[in-house]
Structure 1
């Protein structure tokens, strides 16, 4: 029978094989290859007719957002889909040749000792200096195979169909170069657990629905299979839970930019795969942006970069030894709809092997893996984690021998383990209800209103500013976000409120142009007597200008929810800070009210025309954040006399 699959398997033509979730069939895509320079250049129409495209988006494309990345020349390669069909998994298994495809000469490109040194440097010099909460630093496992690239990815895709379960996408792509794609051929195979972002029609009409899928926390199954008791212990591990919350915060920043009505948190859920299980949330919101713009605004996932995102990209560029290629980028499938629009489905490119040709007809194989570094990371443990990830991927595709001595048994569905549902649900008690609910324009707390009042938020390179903007818009305010680089005095003309936003770094480092500019902006706004709210970094800047000392914390507050004094009473607020302002014993600042904890740390400041907070009232960790924020803003704008929590 002359099928698309038959023709593709009998030639060296470009192809993509995609199994979404655990569907009983595989999507087979064929067509031609073209390289483009930017997301806007992805050819979503041919001869004026909307068409399907599978785009391989490399990490260096994040430069389109103005973020730093090593330019390694990896192409933004597009498969222009001319033909497609679906084939049952069992039929495809019968058609694909079972070939061993084992590896030789395997080693990391960066030695264990060198990688451990890089990890220590990032912990001490970046996280310890307040540059961010966490960073993902990768290295590449490299090896050779006797199979040519196309045969290798097809053989290993077959192994994934047999052995993997629960992946968001299982895929193989062979995209040879040519006249319209002069860069080298690209072949890859993998099983990504994580949707980066998708865009689908809204059943209610009008806007589309954007969905993100933050995943964090990993329970590695023992050799004999998953253990229910071990899984329950994993669900109670505070570190695993906090890491997931931090990722949710980062992706909610993106959703707040992409979705005019904000994003809503759903979950948590369990993602069970063959050798490990993750916990995850699903974030949904309505958007009127085109799918290409949604993809651009969401480049790339914090789970494979770090936070805050912009500074994470700079840290990666400083410390990784080479460009990332497609690692941490996405496979983006744009599918044309009858009305001429496109849907988007884009998994993160992780747990993927990249295969290139050798002169002898065999292949070079590269498997990039990264470790997430936080303040308490141990370099040796993070080095071991990269080994575990690399060998896990290679075993999954059959390139390394699998453990075969474990007895075959029925694998329990971990989400159904007694007690699991309650433990998962309990996590949401630690998340702000504002972000769990449907958001819409509404009056502020206490029956007062901010509707029609205006605000300018100064983005100091932390996109928490987008979440702040959404909270204020939900209260009816008109909000504009401006970068610290572009904001001028005229930017504030007519604005009722200026919000000096959060950002990474040492607030006393005036040699940093960003820090120096934030000092200037805060000083000028306070001098004007017009309403100012300062958050996190900008709170520290304001405290310095009030004469309060700043101290580096012995243990940074990164992704912590703390009960702290705030105007109007104690509040639970999320923190991401390495530095803190201190109030020396007996200090008095005329006309200024300080909210200080027993350690002397200043959590909030109120004065005539200004207020500031150290914590992130916009964080999903801030149970009382929205109420405190609106209370402070209403007081600054003269809507109410006090700031009440609750």
Structure 2
């Protein structure tokens, strides 16, 4: 129920009842009270009572829930904790601040669990052993800032919540969630997923600009925005979240941005993705576990890499706080749709207090360009946003005063400060806009209805080799008119391969030369069986390499991985701007244009093969479905048309 008279916050703290405080705007603090229920699966979140009446639930979803998708993790048995809301009230932020304690909570034995040099070594290993061997494009590896806390945990939660309200800015949610034996207080900058009125929104944030002492300037930010590493890092996570959007949205999702997310110590770059869906919000949450900005890509392999390189379980770090709110929609057509709206920020920039120990987990996104010591500094910067607010590390008072003057909160006679919103600077706005010139119009523009393209009436199977780029690829194929199903490599039957009008053998991580890998073995069987039948085949990235190998073309590791790299290459006489995510390549003698019955499109100097085509088959090394593929749809249509053209026609 929603009330109008919130209790005194100190009375609430003394009551012993589970509660949550949430600030989602600059004016209001929401107060949620209720009972706690721990459940095993997302589908068990109790969105209705015994009579079927919808009810509001705030769920803390731990990282271990990725087991629901069959992914690896260190399983710490952290509960999927549900606060079943009995009362939901609101109070002005000013009133909440007046009631909340202002005391600083003493900490003891504070520091990172992994020393800086050791964390830098982990970064080096991940770049060399994981990204360098084709296991993925980027990975997020965390470390924890820990300390002892002797204060009452509820009092500490209220004090830290007040400190974040006062000293952190730009957060999506600022919150304190107090349940038996567990406290979580944070200022998350990032909405992972929301669902409202039939629309799903995701908000990938990546690229981290650490403010210099005294605050950020337009000049310093401009240098950051021109960084190749930071730009590619954002594009890669947008690609990864579009994979999720294409799985849960009928229209695949459209991107808008980029924007700036300006906070007290950091500024991030972000996009917003939006699409239509009528799925149950618990299904949406399951299919989007979890954000690539805090795990990596491709998602399944990222979880495996995290398990290899992180020493301890994540708990709730990189999970979500998911608020399910019954819909007040009176549209008669809404009866067969979702019963609840969803608002789910990522659990980052969050302090956890359990059994007298404070833990603030932070991670850095590691890509092929990463500098180990730079990633160490990034973890310090991310931790400082929370720790500075709660007084665990010194605050940047000069930056805080500049922000207050810019807001008009103080009117001292002082030199004019830098504008509070750097995004308003014309040069910064132009740098942000210019990024989209590199991207695929298909994902930037409104999309026409699928099913009426040049291949209407034809069917296709996309074989998923554990990279959900297949969801984006399937969405594009539907826009070319094909009726498409995605089938996992371990589940696709030989009969399906024989009967499909078109088989699209998909991308995936790993070394295509590994004979002991069951996934590689099956993908070789998929390509070989389809080629032997003479029926239409399109092979993408990993499967392109498998196809090349079957033609006797050498496979070799690249000197430097192409993870999130945009290149303009020749594809059978036509230049195409394409995004590449590969560590291995098929390679022919420079200048070669054919191998057996296959026509070869390759780099004239290195011999690296960009595409192949022959009787009933075509392949491409790049990801035509990526946002980095400006010419993706045009090239995909050409290759599908070739594969579907009868031999001899």
Q: Shorter-chain-normalised TM-score: which range?
A: over 0.9
In structure 1, the residue matched to 2:173 is 169
In structure 2, the residue matched to 1:408 is 401
Paired residues of 2:139 and 2:366 also in contact (CA < 8 A):
yes
Deviation, 1:218, is: 1.9
Question: C-alpha separation between the residues in 1 aligned to 2:183 and 2:530?
Answer: 55
In structure 2, the residue matched to 1:601 is 608
Quick one: structure 1 residues 641 and 277, their matched pair in 2 at CA, closer, same or farther if it must change by over 3 Å? Answer: farther
Paired residues of 1:4 and 1:84 also in contact (CA < 8 A):
no
Indicate whether 1:343 and 2:341 are aligned. Answer: yes
Question: C-alpha separation between the residues in 2 aligned to 1:5 and 1:343?
Answer: 28
Moved more, 379-388 or 75-84: 379-388
Instruction: Output the aligned Cα RMSD.
Output: 1.9
Q: Secondary structure at the match of 2:314?
A: coil
In the superposition, the TM-score normalised over structure 2's length comes to 0.92
In structure 2, the residue matched to 1:142 is 146
Deviation, 1:582, is: 0.5
Deviation, 1:438, is: 1.6
Deviation, 1:144, is: 1.1
Indicate whether 1:276 and 2:278 are aligned. Answer: no
Q: Deviations over 1:553-577 (max 9, x none)?
A: 1111010110111124110000000
Q: Deviations over 1:70-110 (max 9, x none)?
A: 11110100000000111101000001111111322012222
Quick one: structure 1 residues 407 and 19, their matched pair in 2 at CA, closer, same or farther if it must change by over 3 Å? Answer: closer
Match of 2:42 among 39, 43, 68: 39
Question: C-alpha separation between the residues in 2 aligned to 1:277 and 1:403?
Answer: 15
Moved more, 250-259 or 235-244: 235-244
Indicate whether 1:388 and 2:381 are aligned. Answer: yes
The unaligned stretches of length 5 or more in structure 2 are 330-334, 407-417
Indicate whether 1:28 and 2:20 are aligned. Answer: no
Deviation, 1:111, is: 2.9
Q: How does 1:69-468 map to 2 (within 5 A)?
A: 69-176=73-180, 185-201=181-197, 208-339=198-329, 341-357=339-355, 363-404=356-397, 408-409=401-402, 410=406, 411-412=418-419, 413-441=421-449, 449-468=454-473
Deviation, 1:380, is: 3.1
Question: C-alpha separation between the residues in 1 aligned to 2:400 and 2:352?
Answer: 32
Question: C-alpha separation between the residues in 1 aligned to 2:493 and 2:399?
Answer: 66
Q: How does 1:454-493 map to 2 (within 5 A)?
A: 454-493=459-498
Quick one: structure 1 residues 470 and 425, their matched pair in 2 at CA, closer, same or farther if it must change by over 3 Å? Answer: same
Deviation, 1:510, is: 1.1
Paired residues of 1:441 and 1:476 also in contact (CA < 8 A):
no
Quick one: structure 1 residues 274 and 391, their matched pair in 2 at CA, closer, same or farther if it must change by over 3 Å? Answer: closer
Q: Secondary structure at the match of 1:243?
A: helix
Quick one: structure 1 residues 249 and 586, their matched pair in 2 at CA, closer, same or farther if it must change by over 3 Å? Answer: closer
Indicate whether 1:516 and 2:512 are aligned. Answer: no
Quick one: structure 1 residues 153 and 589, their matched pair in 2 at CA, closer, same or farther if it must change by over 3 Å? Answer: same
Deviation, 1:443, is: 7.5
Deviation, 1:9, is: 3.0
Paired residues of 1:441 and 1:473 also in contact (CA < 8 A):
no
Question: C-alpha separation between the residues in 2 aligned to 1:196 and 1:640?
Answer: 47
In structure 2, the residue matched to 1:204 is none
Q: Secondary structure at the match of 1:171?
A: strand
Q: Secondary structure at the match of 2:516?
A: coil
In structure 1, the residue matched to 2:410 is none
Q: Secondary structure at the match of 1:226?
A: coil
Paired residues of 1:154 and 1:172 also in contact (CA < 8 A):
yes
In structure 1, the residue matched to 2:619 is 612
Quick one: structure 1 residues 462 and 641, their matched pair in 2 at CA, closer, same or farther if it must change by over 3 Å? Answer: farther
Quick one: structure 1 residues 146 and 630, their matched pair in 2 at CA, closer, same or farther if it must change by over 3 Å? Answer: same
Question: C-alpha separation between the residues in 2 aligned to 1:164 and 1:112?
Answer: 25
Quick one: structure 1 residues 475 and 5, their matched pair in 2 at CA, closer, same or farther if it must change by over 3 Å? Answer: farther
Paired residues of 1:441 and 1:475 also in contact (CA < 8 A):
no
Question: C-alpha separation between the residues in 1 aligned to 2:170 and 2:149?
Answer: 27
Paired residues of 1:160 and 1:191 also in contact (CA < 8 A):
yes
Question: C-alpha separation between the residues in 2 aligned to 1:247 and 1:374?
Answer: 11
Q: Deviations over 1:404-429 (max 9, x none)?
A: 36683335111111212221111111
Match of 2:570 among 562, 565, 574: 565
Q: Deviations over 1:17-65 (max 9, x none)?
A: 0011x33001110001010000010000113210000000000001111
Deviation, 1:269, is: 1.2
Deviation, 1:375, is: 1.8
